[in-house]
Amino acid sequence: MRPSPQEADRLLGKRLQQFRKEQHISQSEIADYCQVSLSYISTMERGIHRCNPMVLMGYSQKLNISLDTLCKLDPPDSQARSQILPELSEMLSELSEQQQNALLCFLKTIKDN
């Protein structure tokens, strides 16, 4: 289900804050980099103000994270699941086609039970 505009603003703000904190970058540093006020960054990360495209690009550049990654607005539970996808993809690439098909069959069996 697609989030409402208000919920999307809140989710995006939380994601931006999470990525910023993971890299130990302050709101002040982001504000300076994006050439906006500290209060704007604060209210935007809390979902009170909508993030404008130039600020979003600033986060992307400063944090060295793609816009696609920053804007992914899946609910938190699906975000947690998606964190294992790169590892699964790497592991799958190391399997033969026969092994991949066997694994797929196994996963379908688990899903159906």
DSSP result, 18-48: HHHHHTT--HHHHHHHHTS-HHHHHHHHTTS
Residue 80's pLDDT is what?
Answer: 53
Q: Flag whether pLDDT at 88 surpasses 90.
A: no
The CATH label, of 1.10.260.40, 1.20.1250.20, 1.10.287.110, 1.10.1060.10, for the domain at 1-77 is: 1.10.260.40
Residue 4's pLDDT band, with cuts at 50, 70 and 90, is confident
Q: What are the φ and ψ backbone dihedral angles of 11, each rounded to 5 degrees?
A: -65, -40
